[in-house]
Structure 1
């Protein structure tokens, strides 16, 4: 009885604290504050932690602070997909603000010079909050931290501001934060309910974690494919911060985590001193959290391996990345293994470590500055040994894919050069305008190494994220290392995509090769205009040009437009898609003639994408993003909860990202396929199809027996059997429509599932097949490596008049796996030829 009474009283006191919040809960009551600085409550209309701050109110407050304080300047660096601003506050002393550009130049110059004796200058700290929108305590803590830095008049704060330039990013993910704030606030009760079963703690699909297109933006620091990432990467390279913090949340029943992570899972290219400094910074967090009685842990669960995460990206760029993970209330108050967890409590921990970071930056200022200086000095010494050596990359038939990799290099401050002349190396042709040369002797040589590396040996078999990300493989480009740097002509300063053109006006036909990345965009625009087009299923030659499998034929006659109108339309299409369309003035060729039956009519795709409960949102978002932003292809997002009520007959193609469907939805899809539809399915959707007898896939089963594995090692053993993300080589039958437009007879495929399909007994049904020894880069256990050998990542199964096109793994991974996007597009456009 006494225990029940105690819990009741404790709960009541927590509710009272929740509803009567003021800044004293977060701030030391003895701190003198400037009364001219507006408090968060005076601008956003409620105490911090009473409600989840919406992004518009967060923006409003940050502008109010910048207006009131000479310690803060503010800039809008761009917009999200939903046109929300990407703010950056620069916070430092008013004296530093007067000399800010000189401070920045001196800071950058110290990374460029071998001799640097002046370490009596400000340290630079980038503080970022809530890259996952439903990990909202970070951005809500940003309200308190920004207020403290603007208003506090104590000596500690003044010392921090004198010795630090703070790049303050109050919200890494505005769209996701707004979505989650809406959910948490609209489901909040006056009588706060900590029951985890309450609707407040069960977001509707896809949740607030991701951005507009459902991307996990904490995986985009290296490939920089999203507008939010591009803004912060530009800031990062402009300043090269010594510390970058990334405030996250984790499961409700945890406590608080700060780095370093698991030592054995640190990337080998990260200097040992980096982790030693991370541990020193951690001592400041421990001291601060001890003072307020908060539990925490370190060197567990999380790692520093994949450089595309915010807390790891600085480690290959001369800085120290710090990950914070706070147990999440996922709303306003929730039961947990550590007692009742309130939203204000989570905010206080995030605020506390934001300030302890700044204390550490000042306390370790000289060490951090020296570390950064020596990092780049040592990198230059490594680069000097590579003087005269370079990497060449390109695709002689696809300028756009080459351009987009070069675009990433440019964003990451990596220098590259135009090719002087066409050259053939190791039987691969590199064409001027379609290829670039990266000299190894440059400042960011270590960043180049990680972007181009292929690694197959590891000290640990577990990974928090992917184990491989080699960019030339991701883009399906030819490349070669250690070539002569003199192959390059001059540094590319103004990178531009290749211009598109129609070679001349024809009254007979036009031909468009299918190799270029944006040919699906061009074909879609052609079909939308009601223009007839055909695809070549065989190779032919005309006017000294060889036309490959997949070439698109546009006849001039019997079109809805006259020859002049057609020419003007195709000119616009070619320019918008950066492709060349060749005029043909005769149908007589070497090989199939243009009237051959080996040209099949291409029909306009009508596409639906399954989304909602049961579907993996990341995979769905990547497909939506690809079709919508790159190819301008309209796609209907079909919510699984409404599927049985929808008329599917208007679609000839439905894409099923990884997931599963209930019985009624399954029957609906099955009937649609039987009536002639094409279902493009990925990953676990294959298992769904198998179990519901829509298709009969023969999976290769794994045999993994734990020998000499203790109970304590059980979790690690199981984790080591997962393929978290590695790259494998497959052989292609280039004559098969699924491979149209791919230049080489081998391709690098990204794999993150343990799904292995046995090859068909008929070789022509195996147009993509893993080689006998397929591992190119990344970790895979020996049993899994044996399992994947000579299996297939792609199959087609017939179901009456329709078909299921099946991929075992994501071909559109994180928007930067350009090299296999064409596989999905081929499945869409050439579905009737498959």
Structure 2
């Protein structure tokens, strides 16, 4: 058996994978004829995958191919539309008819209308059996002949996404291929099965892209979400891998962990489709399981996002060989075997779709019909959101809604409700009565009661809280202004040329980008530590002042430079001609000079790549701030004096030499900013003094079978909590409200300082806003602090218990990191 596995791995014929009861068109190129090796001998690189997809499209009249954009590394984001030649010719008519069926309440004709199936693969790059199986799926659909395949293609439009994550797939293929032995070695200890940091799972900025279907912050996500809403597929499949010692999983997942907004019929149809997978896997002798793992709760995953959009999401998880061949509890696991299971369930999906076509088409029609019926009851109601001081942050939430085809309007006039001011140009309003009303409910909901206490992912994601926006859920539609069809970010600029000074409020989301541009030009800028008023404008804590005199640019050139920088940053700069104000004058000692940040971001072994990637992405893509990615293995030999700020994302531990060097650097004037488990490390290594609340829940009357669930219920998988701010503290500059919604997914409960002014952010007595947390953890969290700021010698240590930059869509707390970076000397 062992020798056979080694031999078959390198000489896998197409017959191992493909159904043999059909004939294949010899004019269609096989994968090997294009990529140069049999499927499964090597891990296909993305460039070869692209090459083959184009070769198929050239050879087959069943395929249309398009490039929908590029990844961060400029790899194409391909989509193949595969159906009968007749359908290809009429594809736009078919699409329009399909969409129209979701827009009407009258009975639809399902007799001759094709079902639409979106099949996507390997959103995690180091789960490559999916994208390797695409070679076979696309070949089969292009080359297979006979009545069965032709009837299926006539009744089905297949949207084939060969690689959800091209950059990660390429990174992992390089690793697996460069570490492959000629004499295949299944020993799990071989280097082939242990990627170096950060691994191939993520995209360029180290994001788990299977969490971005709802936030839509990444280019790969934007391409596929545009395709999704353009077509509204009936079924969407998401092909993954799991641990080597597992078998094969397909949905449904654990029933009690399905989101309550998902219709019951959705899960029933998922189970019906699952019967086809079971039959297909039985036929080839592959083990599998269902309904005992994973879940359908967080709508930001590929297998769950369709469920709130009238579609049926299907998750597949294949035990991973993590290379070419590996020992497992189920025998020798070969890469071709993993590919065959993914290929087999790709075909069983299409068979299920074809056989259940009319039932599934009716389900989608009724989903939207019922959604409109439900929302009609609130036809006079709308949701308004905004921030009268921050147009950009408001815009970016509107941008997400726009990507999801949710109708938004400008507000007709400025108005106030419950003490919140909504200003034209800084607010948007969403009517509740519209097609995607269920998606709106999912995005805006706050939920604190649950059927289950275990979650595969986060339990809360309320978007207005994530963006720290004012909002109201039941305002009258009489406040609706014009529908927004051309969403644009508010322009910035300088209000007037000055020979004295320029002032910039710190509230706008992109103010840090502007400040970085100013400091990078070696211009002097100061921050106001107190409030003041000038020319009828009330300037808050954190206002930035740029004096005109004694700068490296003359007054004319300074104005030109600032106007260009303000425009690029979408920020308004006010030119003023006097330093005399109501409050602190512009020459006051309460204006503190700022220094350009020189940042090192710790990456590498011991650091969470997710957390590091989120910070890298934030600095690089939004604020144009260059940070040196400093590998932990290089700390001991790097001159740290060139940096004034070192950011340590979620950290396990560092060696004694590295720790000592970082401590000396901090004592000499550097600023350490640490996140999550780094807080515990900072306390242990005596960078800070901190005390923590502990929860020790006794396991009473818990059986061995339930022990794992008991422990899992004590986790905070991701929930939202309310904190009170001291807005006069520099760490909170730029926040106009006294309360802030904060995301947390740790059980690090840091006790407040005995001096109240050292607690600029503090959780309230009843802090839960949305999501699941156990009662003991909630009690331990109440009135603790999420940040501690301490002096260490001449330097500073800023310790955050949780992630302020979560998954690139938690815009509302990004400013906390920016404040720690730019105002480090004022903290």
What TM-score does the superposition give when structure 2 sets the normalisation length?
Answer: 0.99
- 1:165 is displaced (CA, Å) by 0.2
Mapped partners of 1:92, 1:116: distance in 2? 26
What are the within-5 Å matches in structure 2 for residues 693-772 of structure 1? 693-772=686-765
| Structure 2 residue matching 1:464: 3-state secondary structure | coil
| Structure 2 residue matching 1:402: 3-state secondary structure | helix
Moved more, 18-27 or 207-216: 18-27
Partner of 1:5: none
Q: 1:18 aligns with which of 4, 9, 22?
A: 9
- 1:83 is displaced (CA, Å) by 0.2
- 1:80 is displaced (CA, Å) by 0.1
Mapped partners of 1:308, 1:564: distance in 2? 49
Partner of 1:683: 676
Q: 2:578 aligns with which of 562, 582, 586?
A: 586
Mapped partners of 1:250, 1:505: distance in 2? 60
| Structure 1 residue matching 2:573: 3-state secondary structure | strand
- 1:251 is displaced (CA, Å) by 0.3
Q: 1:224 aligns with which of 208, 211, 216?
A: 216
Quick check: 2:101–2:108 contact (8 Å CA) kept in 1? no
For residues 182-217 of structure 1, the C-alpha deviation after alignment (integer angstroms, 9 at most, x for no partner) is 000000000000000000000000000000000000
For residues 29-73 of structure 1, the C-alpha deviation after alignment (integer angstroms, 9 at most, x for no partner) is 332000000000000000000000000000000000000000000
Mapped partners of 2:756, 2:59: distance in 1? 72
Q: 1:555 aligns with which of 535, 541, 547?
A: 547
- 1:22 is displaced (CA, Å) by 1.2
Partner of 2:560: 568
CA RMSD of aligned residues (A): 0.6
Partner of 2:801: 808
Q: 1:508 aligns with which of 500, 513, 516?
A: 500
- 1:300 is displaced (CA, Å) by 1.4
Q: 4+ runs of 1 displaced by more than 3 Å?
A: none
Quick check: 2:668–2:793 contact (8 Å CA) kept in 1? yes
Do residues 41 (structure 1) and 32 (structure 2) align?
Answer: yes
Do residues 476 (structure 1) and 476 (structure 2) align?
Answer: no
Do residues 164 (structure 1) and 156 (structure 2) align?
Answer: yes
Partner of 1:211: 203
| Structure 1 residue matching 2:693: 3-state secondary structure | coil
| Structure 2 residue matching 1:88: 3-state secondary structure | strand
| Structure 1 residue matching 2:749: 3-state secondary structure | coil
Do residues 780 (structure 1) and 773 (structure 2) align?
Answer: yes
Partner of 1:6: none
Do residues 363 (structure 1) and 355 (structure 2) align?
Answer: yes
For residues 365-416 of structure 1, the C-alpha deviation after alignment (integer angstroms, 9 at most, x for no partner) is 0010000000000000011111010000000000000000000000000001
- 1:692 is displaced (CA, Å) by 1.9
Q: 1:56 aligns with which of 23, 34, 47?
A: 47
Do residues 417 (structure 1) and 375 (structure 2) align?
Answer: no
What are the within-5 Å matches in structure 2 for residues 397-408 of structure 1? 397-408=389-400
Do residues 115 (structure 1) and 106 (structure 2) align?
Answer: yes
Mapped partners of 2:502, 2:751: distance in 1? 41
Partner of 2:81: 90
Partner of 1:248: 240
Do residues 669 (structure 1) and 670 (structure 2) align?
Answer: no
Quick check: 2:503–2:573 contact (8 Å CA) kept in 1? yes
Moved more, 151-160 or 277-286: 151-160
Do residues 313 (structure 1) and 305 (structure 2) align?
Answer: yes
- 1:28 is displaced (CA, Å) by 2.0
What are the within-5 Å matches in structure 2 for residues 782-801 of structure 1? 782-801=775-794
Mapped partners of 2:588, 2:695: distance in 1? 47
Do residues 524 (structure 1) and 512 (structure 2) align?
Answer: no
Partner of 1:824: 817
- 1:352 is displaced (CA, Å) by 0.2
Mapped partners of 1:242, 1:65: distance in 2? 25
| Structure 2 residue matching 1:688: 3-state secondary structure | helix
For residues 152-184 of structure 1, the C-alpha deviation after alignment (integer angstroms, 9 at most, x for no partner) is 003221121011000000000000000000000
What are the within-5 Å matches in structure 2 for residues 527-542 of structure 1? 527-542=519-534
For residues 268-319 of structure 1, the C-alpha deviation after alignment (integer angstroms, 9 at most, x for no partner) is 0000000000000000000000000000000012000000000000000000
Partner of 1:150: 142
- Structure 1: 5+ residue stretches without partners: 1-9
Mapped partners of 1:30, 1:263: distance in 2? 37
Do residues 464 (structure 1) and 450 (structure 2) align?
Answer: no
What are the within-5 Å matches in structure 2 for residues 429-508 of structure 1? 429-508=421-500
Quick check: 2:308–2:438 contact (8 Å CA) kept in 1? yes
Q: 1:67 aligns with which of 58, 72, 85?
A: 58
- 1:674 is displaced (CA, Å) by 1.2
For residues 688-721 of structure 1, the C-alpha deviation after alignment (integer angstroms, 9 at most, x for no partner) is 1122222221111112111111111100000000
- 1:798 is displaced (CA, Å) by 1.9
Quick check: 2:579–2:585 contact (8 Å CA) kept in 1? yes
- 1:662 is displaced (CA, Å) by 1.8
| Structure 1 residue matching 2:673: 3-state secondary structure | strand
Mapped partners of 1:485, 1:708: distance in 2? 53
Mapped partners of 1:274, 1:494: distance in 2? 34
- 1:634 is displaced (CA, Å) by 0.6
- 1:627 is displaced (CA, Å) by 0.2
- 1:668 is displaced (CA, Å) by 1.6
For residues 204-250 of structure 1, the C-alpha deviation after alignment (integer angstroms, 9 at most, x for no partner) is 00000000000000000001000000000000000000000000000
What TM-score does the superposition give when structure 1 sets the normalisation length?
Answer: 0.99
Do residues 641 (structure 1) and 633 (structure 2) align?
Answer: yes
Q: 1:627 aligns with which of 596, 619, 628?
A: 619
Do residues 278 (structure 1) and 263 (structure 2) align?
Answer: no
- 1:661 is displaced (CA, Å) by 1.4
For residues 591-636 of structure 1, the C-alpha deviation after alignment (integer angstroms, 9 at most, x for no partner) is 0000000000010000000000000000000000000000000100
- 1:143 is displaced (CA, Å) by 0.3
Partner of 1:543: 535
Partner of 1:200: 192
| Structure 2 residue matching 1:772: 3-state secondary structure | strand
Mapped partners of 1:661, 1:154: distance in 2? 62
Moved more, 142-151 or 706-715: 706-715
Mapped partners of 2:310, 2:710: distance in 1? 34
Mapped partners of 1:131, 1:154: distance in 2? 33
Mapped partners of 2:753, 2:252: distance in 1? 48
- 1:86 is displaced (CA, Å) by 0.1
Quick check: 2:723–2:741 contact (8 Å CA) kept in 1? yes
Quick check: 2:682–2:688 contact (8 Å CA) kept in 1? yes
- 1:490 is displaced (CA, Å) by 1.2
Partner of 1:3: none
Number of corresponding residues: 825
- Structure 2: 5+ residue stretches without partners: none
Moved more, 270-279 or 789-798: 789-798
Quick check: 2:676–2:746 contact (8 Å CA) kept in 1? yes
Mapped partners of 1:379, 1:245: distance in 2? 24
